[in-house]
Amino acid sequence: MESLEGTIRSKLPGSGTSIFAVMSGLANEYKAINLSQGFPDFPISEELTEKVHYYMKRGYNQYAPMPGIPKLRGAISKMFKKNHGVKYDPDTEITVTAGATQALYTAISAFVREGDEVIIFEPAYDSYAPAVTVNGGIVKYSKLQFPDFSPNWEEIPRMITNRTRMIIINTPQNPTGNVWTKEDMQQLEKLTKDTDIIVLSDEVYEHLIYDSLQHESACRFPELVKRTLITGSFGKTFHATGWKTGFVLAPERLMSEFRKVHQFVVFAANTPIQHALADYIGNEEHYKGLPRFYQQKRDFFAQRLQSSRFKLIPSYGTYFQLLEYSDISDEAEMDFAVRLIKEYKIASVPVSPFYHNKDDHKVLRFCFAKQEKTLKKAAEILCRI
């Protein structure tokens, strides 16, 4: 086949394959326990599966309405009202998406223009910066402060210019497990008040938060809520990462722009899954227990690592645990992570790819969304290293 080589100028020349695909690929190749890419190794709710089946069998298999089925938008609205006391209008302020990744990309495309600056906190989830770059934006990075990964409120105000279009935040945070406090959110609120900066708040781990901490959703802050698009993911909440179904909440002024792009990126999300979720999230028992459920896993894994030479960096949310290994090796994170897969049959994700300059703190990320038997086996291996 004739090649176009030489005529294509990549829009993402610095991007290779996502670190999650690379590490999961290696885990499979070397038959390692896979605590790298974040996904549960236990089944999803039988009831939820039955519901999808039910709706498929009854013919709910054609395009859903562009913003999502009304019943699901209504159920999401009720969930946010109950959890945060804030009312989003299901007709004009909620859109169902094909996962949070699509929601994030669409939100960035809808608002970031050539030359606009976007502030991102790193280590950052891998999809934010490429989405900004593809849309002609310029990423400005603010480092979360090692080792607690708190935001640096002295530096952030100095990064704002008249070209700052968007600030992307993520709490609970992937990969660090850090959770923004009420004070952090108030700082952001103060900083963006009376500006035309848009906040994109990635809250996919909203229900995965521990030690009785409150998830400080951006919607709880009256000045922030006006300028913020919030993204959520049912994949995280209901252990079904392969379903790729999520949502966006935003005031109508922002949502109408979001939908203009959404309709051309995906048009609509998966129909039978939307119907099933609409029934399922109506019952808060289906998500209220998540902090306890995952905290137990976090603590189970941590307890079994007590005799290891890895140091635990506290995880307050998400299903990730960072382990620091400077007492074991001075290898670079990527090298060490690959060696653990090949020699010890345990897969993790190095944190350095979450930094644009590949900062290396000798820290690896382990996903604890696993059955106890998996975590037990993984901890036994880690204790031998």
Residues engaged in binding ligand GLN (CB under 6 A): 18, 20, 37-38, 174
Taking contact as CB under 6 A, which single stretch among the options 22-30, 210-218, 240-248, 257-265 is the one that binds ligand PMP?
240-248
In the complex, what is the shortest distance from the CB of residue 308 to ligand GLN, in angstroms, rounded to a whole number? 22
**Closer to ligand PMP by Cβ: residue 151 or 308:** 151
Q: Is 246 in the site for ligand PMP (CB under 6 A)?
A: yes
**Closer to ligand PMP by Cβ: residue 246 or 350:** 246
User: Which value, in Å, is the radius of gyration of the alpha carbons in the chain?
Assistant: 21
Q: Please calculate the CA angle 109-104-362 and round it to the nearest 5 degrees.
A: 120
In the complex, what is the shortest distance from the CB of residue 255 to ligand PMP, in angstroms, rounded to a whole number? 19
Q: Which does 202 bind (CB under 5 to 8 A by kind): ligand GLN, ligand PMP, none?
A: ligand PMP
Q: Which does 18 bind (CB under 5 to 8 A by kind): ligand PMP, ligand GLN, none?
A: ligand GLN
Q: Which does 99 bind (CB under 5 to 8 A by kind): ligand GLN, ligand PMP, none?
A: ligand PMP
- DSSP state at residue 85: S
The contacts of residue 128 (CB under 8 Å, 6+ apart) are: 104, 108, 118, 120, 139, 168, 202
**Closer to ligand PMP by Cβ: residue 198 or 308:** 198
In the complex, what is the shortest distance from the CB of residue 35 to ligand GLN, in angstroms, rounded to a whole number? 10
Do residues 235 and 245 make contact, with C-beta atoms less than 8 angstroms apart?
Answer: yes
Q: Is 235 in the site for ligand PMP (CB under 6 A)?
A: yes
Pairing state between β 320-324 and 363-367 = antiparallel
Phi, psi of 373 (to 5 degrees): -65, -35
Q: Which does 37 bind (CB under 5 to 8 A by kind): ligand PMP, ligand GLN, none?
A: ligand GLN
Pairing state between β 198-202 and 228-233 = parallel
Per-residue burial over 333-344, b if 16 or more Cβ lie within 10 Å, else e, is bbebbbebbeeb
x/- string (CB under 6 A) for ligand PMP, residues 153-172?
-----------------x--
Taking contact as CB under 6 A, which single stretch among the options 68-76, 97-105, 321-329, 359-367 is the one that binds ligand PMP?
97-105
- DSSP state at residue 88: P
- Give the residue carrying structure tokens 């993520």: 170
- DSSP state at residue 193: T
Q: Which does 170 bind (CB under 5 to 8 A by kind): ligand GLN, ligand PMP, none?
A: ligand PMP
In the complex, what is the shortest distance from the CB of residue 373 to ligand GLN, in angstroms, rounded to a whole number? 21
Among 135, 174, 217, 308, binds ligand PMP (CB under 6 A): 174
Cis bond upstream, residue 151 (ω within 30):
no
Q: Is 100 in the site for ligand PMP (CB under 6 A)?
A: yes
Q: Is 80 in the site for ligand PMP (CB under 6 A)?
A: no
Alpha-helix runs per DSSP H in the chain: 19-29, 46-57, 70-84, 99-111, 128-134, 156-159, 182-192, 222-225, 234-237, 252-265, 271-281, 285-288, 290-304, 333-344, 372-384
**Closer to ligand PMP by Cβ: residue 67 or 246:** 246
**Closer to ligand GLN by Cβ: residue 100 or 278:** 100
Q: Which residue is nearest to ligand PMP (CB)?
A: 99
Q: Which does 235 bind (CB under 5 to 8 A by kind): ligand PMP, ligand GLN, none?
A: ligand PMP
Q: Please calculate the CA angle 14-203-171 and round it to the nearest 5 degrees.
A: 80
Q: Please calculate the CA angle 51-52-55 and round it to the nearest 5 degrees.
A: 85
In the complex, what is the shortest distance from the CB of residue 104 to ligand PMP, in angstroms, rounded to a whole number? 6
Site residues, ligand PMP (CB under 6 A) = 99-101, 125, 170, 174, 202, 204, 233, 235, 241, 244, 246
